[in-house]
Structure formats: C-alpha cells, structure tokens
Amino acid sequence: MSDHTIKIAEIKLTEAEIEAAVRVLRSGALRQGKECEAFEKEFAEKVGAKYAITCSSGSAALHLAYMAILKPGDEVLVPSFTFIATASMVVMAGGKPIFCDIDPETFLIDLKDAESKITEKTKAIAPVHLFGNPCNIEAVQAFAKKYNLIIVWDAAQAHGATYKGQDVGSFGDFVCYSFYPTKNMFVGEGGIICTNNEEFAYKIRFMRTHGQTGKYYHTMLGLNYRMTDVEAAIGREQLKRLDEMLAVRRRNAEILNKGLTEIPGIRPQKVTPNSKHAWHQYCIVVDKEVFGCSRDELAEKLKQKGIATGIHYPRGLHQQPIFEQMYGKQVFPNTEYVAEHILALPVHHGLSETDIEKIIESIYEVRKEL
C-alpha cells in the first residue's frame, strides 16, 4: 500500500475562513444575525437568484420548501436514486414521495417514468442535480408547466453547476443547497434555499423561526432551522474561492474523462448537454463482464494502491427498508443497475494532475493484473 492515500474528499478551511469564524466567536454574536443576512445577499447575487434564505442543513432546506407548498397527502415526484433527504423530507412535511426511475447514463430523473406517475394529487417534482450534473432544466420546466407542478430542485451537490450558461441556483421555485463538509462548499452544517418567488421566500424565512412574524407572535408553524453566524461567516469567505475550487474539480474531471474513455467496461456519468457539471462526485459505472472485475473488487484493489473510493448510493430509495415498509416493494431497473455498479473516484479541489493521473494508471494496472 502506498503511504500517500488519495482521499475521496478534502475538508480543510483556509486561514481566512478560520479567521472569519474566530471574528464572530470573539464578538459573541453567535446566532443567526448580520453574517447570515450578508451571506444570503452574496449567495443570491452569486447564483443570480432574487432571494436566498440560510438554514441549518440541506435537509432543513428541503423540509422548509416542502412545508411551504404541501398539504397532507400531496404527492411529489422524486428520483429513486438520490440521498434519502430528497424523499424523506416530503414525508416529514406531510406528503408522499412517488419514486421515478433515472436515466442510466446521466443518473438523473427520467421524465418519461415521472409522466406515468402523474395523478390528481401530484403537487411538485423534486429533480436532483446528482453529483453536480445539472438536470435538463428546460425539459423539467416544460414538464412542470404541463402538469402545473412546483419544482423543488435538490442542488445539495451542485454549487456552481450551470445550465445554458446560467447557474442552477437561478431557476427557482426552490433551489436547495447543503453545506455539509463533503460538499463543494462546506461550513460544518448548513443549507440555503434560493427562490425567485416572493411569497415562497416570505414563508420560508419565517418557518425557519417557528413562524414568528412578530415578537412571540406566530402566524404559521415552523421549526428552529436557523444557521449560525459562525457558519455564515465561513460561507461568505468560502464563496470567494468557489470558482477556483470548481476550476480544479473541472480540470480533474476532464483528465479523468480523457483517461478513462479508452478503458473497456468503465463508463463515466454522462454530462447533460449545454451544461457545466460541478463534479461534487466523479462516478463511473463498472461493467464486470467487460472490465473483468466487479465494482467492489475494483474498489478494494484501488484501496490497496492508496486510492479511496466511495459508493453513492448502494441501493435505490425504493429499496431502503423504511420505504419498502411504507410503500411496498417497487422495481426501478436503471436505478438498481446503477446502484450495483457505481463507483466514485476522487476528483476534489485538493488533488493535483499527478494524483489524477495516478488514479487512471491504477485502474489500467488493476485491469492488467486481473
């Protein structure tokens, strides 16, 4: 095993980010305040949204969005291949997630399957820009218009992704981000919701603080889902280097794309046309018959060569015990195939071109050694 392990994520704050946090800690103004307000303005400006509202996590962002629009029993179309929060927050807001299969190449929600699931109760669709790969936004918008649906974009993994030259954060009904430590922006715990709709912005802003529209005066129900000023200060500072971090991820992904296309049995996620992927994860699908060993065997062999990998996600949401219990057994062939064959390779902003070349060489070596 090599002594230099290539990690799957880089979670290191800069001195400027640490100083920003310390400045707030010293001030004693720990709760949501001026830093959150400034972060909201700066993030909205960066992505081109009218409003941005900070909150305590990406899950909280989704929960607030769903709470703002759902009545009990309302249905939301959700891809079956994503992190659980995209669907579980629908349930926590009183709705029902209706799972839809994915496209096997982009790993994004399949609108044909979604169309077959439309009922009178369908209220919204929650497409996920999975791993930072933007959905075909125009197609989703046309679909939502046709069926009169609200769109809750899950952009937890897509800071800086663009579609037709426009940041994915600017296409709101709701665009929900996470700042969890492995994400493209990382402040500890935190989330933000972008929207261009004044009424949605108003509701979410107050639902985030127990629906308190005046001092101890509550006109709606909500939760305590506030971000703290410490996290917001880190976020404000980090926003300044988002483009730089993304440029490294994109360079790394390009080298991987070039290097891996020649390897039979390895298929990288297909990028949506007219878009710029944010490469939160660089995922490949490993075809055992063609490549010569399974995804799990490849992961183990790469580990021995000092390269960490990840599996996002090992099963579809419809296969999660809790959802099987709630909604019975369902079958989504594309999701199940991808879940069984997918592998995430390191792509993050802390990796050099040499690191990325080592990953490619190591995959070649694994194949040769089979």
CB of 214 to ligand PLP, least distance (A): 29
Which residue, 58 or 222, has its beta carbon nearer to ligand PLP?
Answer: 58
Angle at 238 between CA 21 and CA 269, to 5 degrees: 135
Place of tokens 């980010």: 17
344 sits near ligand PLP (criterion: CB under 6 A):
no
CB of 149 to ligand PLP, least distance (A): 19
Exposed / middle / buried, residue 353 (Cβ in 10 Å: 0-12, 13-18, 19+): exposed
HSE-CB at 71 with a 13 A cutoff on CA atoms is 3
154 sits near ligand PLP (criterion: CB under 6 A):
yes
32 sits near ligand PLP (criterion: CB under 6 A):
no
Integer angstrom CA distances of residue 102 from 66, 80, 81, 129, 135: 22, 7, 7, 12, 11
Which residue, 21 or 62, has its beta carbon nearer to ligand PLP?
Answer: 62
DSSP state of 329: -
Integer angstrom CA distances of residue 310 from 185, 214, 282, 367: 19, 46, 10, 19
Q: Which of residues 82-101 bind ligand PLP (CB under 6 A)?
A: 82-83, 85-86
Which residue, 79 or 222, has its beta carbon nearer to ligand PLP?
Answer: 79
SS3 at position 203: helix
CB of 85 to ligand PLP, least distance (A): 4
Which residue, 150 or 187, has its beta carbon nearer to ligand PLP?
Answer: 187
What character string, x for contact with ligand PLP (CB under 6 A) and - otherwise, covers 285-314? ------------------------------
57 sits near ligand PLP (criterion: CB under 6 A):
yes
The answer to whether 222 and 211 have CB atoms below 8 angstroms apart is yes
Which residue, 281 or 362, has its beta carbon nearer to ligand PLP?
Answer: 281
CB of 217 to ligand PLP, least distance (A): 29
CB of 187 to ligand PLP, least distance (A): 10
SS3 at position 305: coil
The answer to whether 322 and 291 have CB atoms below 8 angstroms apart is no
**Could you give the CA distance from residue 322 to residue 340 in angstroms, rounded to a whole number?**
20
Place of tokens 């929900």: 176
Indicate the residue whose CB is closest to ligand PLP.
58
CB of 9 to ligand PLP, least distance (A): 12
Integer angstrom CA distances of residue 151 from 76, 114, 139, 157, 169: 9, 13, 12, 17, 12
The closest of 215, 208, 216 to 68, measured between CA atoms, is 208
CB of 57 to ligand PLP, least distance (A): 3
Strand partners of residue 175: 153, 194
Cis bond upstream, residue 313 (ω within 30): yes
Number of residues that bind ligand PLP (CB under 6 A): 14
CB of 89 to ligand PLP, least distance (A): 8
Which residue, 27 or 320, has its beta carbon nearer to ligand PLP?
Answer: 320
191 sits near ligand PLP (criterion: CB under 6 A):
yes
CB of 192 to ligand PLP, least distance (A): 10
Integer angstrom CA distances of residue 190 from 106, 166, 231, 235: 27, 24, 7, 9
* Choice from 52, 64, 156, 242 touching ligand PLP (CB under 6 A): 156
**Could you give the CA distance from residue 207 to residue 209 in angstroms, rounded to a whole number?**
5
178 sits near ligand PLP (criterion: CB under 6 A):
yes
Which residue, 266 or 342, has its beta carbon nearer to ligand PLP?
Answer: 342
The answer to whether 169 and 175 have CB atoms below 8 angstroms apart is yes
59 sits near ligand PLP (criterion: CB under 6 A):
yes
CB of 114 to ligand PLP, least distance (A): 17
136 sits near ligand PLP (criterion: CB under 6 A):
no
Report the interface residues with ligand PLP, using CB under 6 A: 57-59, 82-83, 85-86, 128, 154, 156-157, 178, 180, 191
